[in-house]
Chains A and B, each alone.
Chain A
Amino acid sequence: MSLEFLVASAIAVLVAGGIYLALRGRTFQVVLGLTLLSYAVNLFLFAVGRLIVDRPPLYAKDVVEHADPLPQALVLTAIVITFGMTALTVILGLRSFLETGSDQVDGEPDPVREDAA
């Protein structure tokens, strides 16, 4: 199994899980979904510079093939932004829960489940 296949399938699984969780009704699951989605995006960005193993970035003497350093810089920016955003969503979900008494994303009261009732 090639490295490319492994990374690609990891991204695919992360995206699938992320989309599923992001479509759920409760803020906690949505936050987890967004986190998975952003992990997938970060991995993807990292891989767009092509997967090159054990090569120096930029320059080294007598080396012909280099790893592309730019995607790594892009990923760093993306990670920082996502980190801040996730923190904000958590706080926002918490405030919304405290203020409306409901953990639903749309702020409506929790639907009463049959097994709970």
Chain B
Amino acid sequence: MTLLDHLPVAPIVIPALVAPVTMLVMRRRRIFSVILSLGGAVAMLAAACALFGLAQDDTIRSYALGAWAAPFGIVLVVDQLAATMLVLAAVLALVVLGHAVVTGADRKGWHFHPLFHFQLLGLNGAFLTGDLFNLFVFFEVLLIASYGLMLHGQGALRLKAGVAYVVVNIVGSALFLIALGLLYGLTSTLNMADLAVRITGLGPADQGLLRIAGLLLMTVFALKAAVVPIHLWMPRTYAATMPVVAALFAIMTKVGVYAMIRTVPLIFGAQAGAAAWVPAPYLLPAAMLGAMLGFVGVLVARGMREQAAYAVLASTGTLLMAVAIWREATLAAALYYLVQATLAGAALFLVADVTMRRRGQYADAIVPSARFAGQDATGLLYLIAAVAAVGLPPLAGFVGKLLILDASFAVPGWAAIWATILGSTLIGVIGFSRSGSTLFWKAAPPGTDAVAAPARSRADFIAPLTLLVLLAVLAVAAGWVTAQTRATARQVMAPDRYIAAVLGGAR
């Protein structure tokens, strides 16, 4: 075995090493821990890109941890879906971490860097693992780190939202465990590939339990993804936390979507008896409601962070609409949209941060303020980020929505999907233009106090600009990216190949 064969474990090992070491170094010299932390993020990006390159040859690689063979040990599986998500997470992490260092947000508490890397450890693990219980463990890792990050900087409001966030997620974890217990009781395995095989052989007496287990599992993923009836924790949490942390959290809701894309075609596909495509009848209406509610939230939000949170909710809804059809063409469109929606959501939060830093006592409230330094530049950034988030040309959001519309045209019920996407986009456009003109164009009534904020250097424009440039690149390179997502969707919708890659000759 060469070193290259161990590459799949690198995205988990790197943050697992970096996190504790930064914590130790932080006590002595902050600058070392910053360098280490940034270096770790770069190394992770390199590992993710290398895995993405490896996955290009359309083979699914499975890596047995500790060389324990597949159904008994835990495997990591690198296919194109996992590799894409790894690259996305690494890119986002690097940009957000850079922004945190530039703006000094990492100095608001002791443990920003370790928590940040533990969060990445959880994310990467969740993307790579091929074992359901291991998925639960990595979910916990990323949640525990997110509790810490969410409370970073503290304050009464943040604590209030934090209690609700933690309680909701603990209940979610309990449900996850019950679903896992049911699946284990039925099939005596938790390896995803093995589960997919054994589920086909269940007798008619077990079908009801199987269906319950599948629905419970999907409920948990929907809770993480903030799908509409169980989304209430999300806008509050994201609006109360630091914007730079919320920018990283933009990918957290997408982890729930990823888990659905991973498990449903593989385990609950057409072969699964009573549990075949188990979330399908509920997910589409919920997603439609989510897209509508999200953009309505954009319209009525009172603060920029709250607005960005609702924009993330809306993008998750739009994304799930395409996912919930469970066809190859729509899934390919959904994956393109997933990448761009994550970056656009993060960009909105970073722009909110940049604006908050300059507006002094007005913070992120969507009210007219006295003129502040850098008003035009931040206004322009906000305009571009809003264009990306709502899906107007020329940025990638437009391409993503167009792809979803085009792919869903072949589906029965396409009219409802089209009406929802187009209608919700219109509400979003109105919402963003209303709040944008209030924030940056309207003059405060005479007699209001001048903005009490120190003049800032423009270094903090770099991170949001990077994200927006990435979104433009995503639009320009749409041909190449859609070819990628199509290949990915083909892999996802052919679970036999995943099973063969993991179980190999054991079948």
- A interface residues with partner B (beta carbon < 8 Å): 22, 27, 30, 34, 37-38, 41, 44-45, 48-50, 68, 70-71, 74, 77-78, 81-82, 84-85, 88-89, 92-93, 95-96, 99-100, 105-107
CA of A46 to CA of B133, assembled, Å: 14
CA of A88 to CA of B159, assembled, Å: 12
A-B interface, 4 closest residue pairs, ranked by CB to CB distance from nearest: A107-B160, A48-B185, A48-B181, A96-B159
In this complex, what residue of A is CB-closest to B186?
A48
Contact B167 A89 (CB under 8 A): yes
Contact A41 B159 (CB under 8 A): no
In this complex, what residue of B is CB-closest to A18?
B174
Chain B interface, >50% SS class: helix
Q: Which residues of A contact B164 (CB under 8 A)?
A: 105-106
Per-position contact with A for B124-146: 1 when CB-CB < 8 Å, else 0?
A: 00000000010001001000100
Contact A88 B147 (CB under 8 A): yes
A34-B170, A45-B177 as given contacts; A100 in contact with B182, CB under 8 Å: no
| New A-B pairs, 5, CB < 8 Å, besides A38-B174, A41-B177 | A37-B174, A85-B170, A92-B166, A100-B160, A107-B159
Contact A27 B163 (CB under 8 A): yes
Contact B156 A107 (CB under 8 A): yes
Q: Which residues of B contact A81 (CB under 8 A)?
A: 137, 140, 173
CA of A3 to CA of B330, assembled, Å: 49
> What would be 21 A-B contacts, judged by CB atoms less than 8 Å apart?
A22-B167, A34-B174, A37-B174, A44-B177, A44-B178, A45-B177, A48-B185, A49-B184, A71-B181, A85-B173, A89-B163, A89-B167, A92-B151, A92-B159, A96-B156, A96-B163, A99-B156, A100-B159, A105-B164, A105-B167, A106-B160
User: Number of residue pairs across A and B with beta carbons under 8 Å?
Assistant: 84
A41-B177, A92-B162, A96-B163 as given contacts; A22 in contact with B171, CB under 8 Å: yes
Contact A107 B163 (CB under 8 A): yes
Most interface-central of B156, B167, B188 (chain A CB within 10 A): B167
Q: Which residues of A contact B156 (CB under 8 A)?
A: 96, 99-100, 107
Q: Which residues of A contact B167 (CB under 8 A)?
A: 22, 30, 34, 89, 105
Contact A70 B184 (CB under 8 A): yes
Q: Say how far A3's CB is from chain B's closest CB, in angstroms.
A: 16
CA of A3 to CA of B166, assembled, Å: 35
In this complex, what residue of A is CB-closest to B182?
A48
Contact B163 A93 (CB under 8 A): yes
Q: Which residues of B contact A88 (CB under 8 A)?
A: 144, 147, 166
